[in-house]
Amino acid sequence: MDLIEISWVLLIIGVTASIAWLIAPYITKIYTHESSLIDRVFDPIENLIYRIIGIDKNRGMGWKEYFLTGLFVNLIMMALTFSIFLFQGVLPLNPQHFSSLNWNLALNNVISFMTNTDLQHYAGESTLSYLSQTAAVQFLMFSAPATGISMAVAMIRGFRVGAKDLGNFYLDFTRTIIRLLLPLSILVSLVLVVLGVPQSISGYAVVRTIEGVTQQIAIGPIASLTSITQLGSNGGGYFGANFAYPFQNPSPVSDILELSLMLLLPTALIFVFGRLLGKKSESKPVFIAAYSMLGINLLIGFLQKVSLGPGIETRIGGFFSTFWTVISTSTNTGSLNASLYAMSPSAVLSSFMSMFIQSTPGAVGTGLIYMIMYVILTVFIVGLMAGRTPEYLGIKITARDVGLIMLAFIIHPIIILIPTILAYTTGAAAQIGIGANAIGFTKIFYEFSSAAANNGSDFFGVLANTPFFNVATAIVMFVGRYAPMCILLALSGSVLGRKREAVSGLRTDSLVFAVVLVGSIIILVLLVFLPFLALGPILAFFEGRMNFFG
């Protein structure tokens, strides 16, 4: 990177982090239920919802009830949207007369969007009706990040002094959508419309080109979908070309805005973390660690220069394409403004690192959950090295706590490696033309790494619309989302109300701890994944390849 490019990186990250810090107090009040002026607007709406679904908003939940309630609500939403995809062909708001989806693609879609993955084995503009894009896809794009944020808040509550329960999922979920995601999404949608992103349900336009032939122009509710796509770490797009398509990302200005949106809420939740604990200083090492690892990923990503060529949108250029790819995978958003095939092996290696760590800063909610896991794991390692009982926030960390953390940690490589092997042994990789070489292995390994991390970017797109890849990635996405949530909520439930003592030893709100935290995360991830990275992107890098075309 030259000086101008470094300046752009620092400016975009600095401004976004500053805005995140400014909105953190507002977000905190959503979950501490402190009174504010906007209660007059939102309270009647929320109370009506609580009455309709018949819940007691004041009743707290233990970790099992909280998780199972969230899972149940998510499964109901999956069932509803699955029926929309299955019967799309006979449902309204389908002026293009698209046919219904087959069962395995519909299954992949509902799990993909409900797990905040948004992996797309289809091209939206030629596959989904307006009803599917709004009532199914966009509906889940609000529900998925709301679930992740709610689970993260519940986990934090377990570590709060004096907490008796983890809160109420229905209450957290509802308030997240109504008080956070909807207002921000509406505001961003209006800005995107001003910047040239279409918002319409009037049907696709047919125009005559200067060559005298007719061409169909795909337009729809794109601005509203785009806003929650980036804000909610979703990443799926209205178009198969994703954010390389001019209607979804019309200019360099929209590119910078949409890039910044990916970082906004994951960063804000880091500051919310300390506020919810009642100890703002605890956010400092988490922020330093997350952004230090993001900095490392940026350095790796720019080791090889991405130049204009096949797969790079000329309006955006190689620098902003690489920058977007690193930020997108670092936040587990998964959206792309250039073809992943056009990325250098170093940029793809950076993406792998982000998906393995999942806290750089990670997706909304789940990134913070994983970071808390790493913090406690680091506390345990430091405790062993110092020969003293590990503790976090004055809470002694037991063998059971560490066992839960290791279980959550080890699930990730298992659900990546098993289906990667199966893709080759069953012939599924060969079926879509993927060979058993460094480039082919990277593409298959990336597919399941992306699914397990609930990232959603991939090399294949519609090419992976086969029963094997649809079902296999659906299973990986489901397990990768809900298994760690369940395990780490169980951890939070186990420390709830546990006796606290005066903090001694290494302080977890210090710069020293942040450095140790970064080191332990990188070492843990490399120990698990380095052999597999050596077979793919690292080998491609030393072969001198400039991209993954061919």
Taking a C-beta distance cutoff of 8 angstroms, is the pair 476, 422 a contact?
no
Indicate left, alpha or beta for 167 from its phi (over 0: left) and psi (-120 to 50: alpha): left
Q: Which of 467, 243, 413 is nearest to 340 (CA)?
A: 243
Taking a C-beta distance cutoff of 8 angstroms, is the pair 252, 315 a contact?
yes
pLDDT tens track for 201-211:
777 777 777 77
User: Does the structure show a pLDDT above 60 at 550?
Assistant: no
User: Does the structure show a pLDDT above 70 at 504?
Assistant: no
pLDDT tens track for 321-348:
999 999 999 999 999 999 999 998 899 9
Tokens found for residue 18: 């500053």
Q: Which of 438, 443, 444 is nearest to 424 (CA)?
A: 444
- For the chain, first and last CA: distance in Å? 26
Choose the most confident range, by mean pLDDT, from 152-166, 470-484, 520-534. 470-484
pLDDT tens track for 73-97:
999 999 999 999 999 999 999 988 9
pLDDT tens track for 341-379:
999 889 999 999 999 999 999 999 999 999 999 999 999
Q: For tokens 């070492």, name the residue.
A: 523
pLDDT at 58: 86
Strand ranges, E, within 189-295:
205-208, 214-217
pLDDT at 443: 94
Long-range contacts of 516-521 (CB under 8 A, 24+ apart): 516/378, 516/382, 517/285, 517/289, 517/374, 517/375, 517/378, 518/288, 518/289, 518/292, 518/293, 520/374, 520/377, 520/378, 520/381, 521/289, 521/293, 521/357, 521/359, 521/374, 521/378
pLDDT tens track for 233-284:
998 888 888 999 999 999 999 999 999 999 999 999 999 999 999 999 999 9
Residue with more model confidence, 2 or 11 = 11
Question: Confidence band (pLDDT; 50, 70, 90) for 305?
Answer: confident
Q: What are the φ/ψ torsions at residue 146 (nearest 5 degrees)?
A: -65, -40
Tokens found for residue 405: 């953390």
Strand ranges, E, within 15-77:
none
pLDDT tens track for 415-455:
999 999 999 999 999 999 998 888 899 999 999 999 999 99
Choose the most confident range, by mean pLDDT, from 170-174, 206-210, 532-536. 170-174
Q: Which of 101-110, 445-454, 477-486, 519-528 has the lowest mean pLDDT?
A: 519-528
Question: Confidence band (pLDDT; 50, 70, 90) for 8?
Answer: very high
pLDDT tens track for 380-396:
998 888 777 788 988 89
Indicate the average pLDDT of the chain: 92
pLDDT tens track for 115-163:
999 999 999 888 999 999 999 999 999 999 999 999 999 999 999 988 8
pLDDT at 503: 65
Residue with more model confidence, 497 or 416 = 416
